[in-house]
Amino acid sequence: MKVNVEIDCTPLEARQFFGLPDVQPMQTAVMDKLQSQMMDNIKKVSPEALMQSWLTFDPKIAERFSDMFVTMAGLGGARSADKK
């Protein structure tokens, strides 16, 4: 003998029927906190924030960055000869 029972209900109705707690407020609070933390972390990785943190570490770093970019562009040949 084979018996099929089909129940059509929402997940909320099923939880209430079995006496399980409503976790929707907790899920909403956790997701709101997660979203705010993600937005804060995205702001820390923005190009402006990265450059600001790199440039505040060493006062002469801006000069070193410009030297590095000039050297990478191939324009640093004459400048390196001046340093010798």
pLDDT of 62-84, one tens digit each?
777 788 888 888 765 555 555 54
> What CA–CA distance (Å, rounded) separates 74 from 84?
18
49 HSE (CA, 13 A, CB side): 7
Q: Which residue type occupies 77?
A: G
Mean pLDDT of 22-33: 93
Those residues with Cβ within 8 angstroms of residue 24's Cβ, 6 or more apart along the chain or in another chain = 12
DSSP 46: S
Neighbours of 66 (CB within 10 A): 10
Global pTM?
0.44
State the angle between helix axes of 61-72 and 47-57 in degrees (0 to 180), rounded to the nearest 10.
Answer: 110
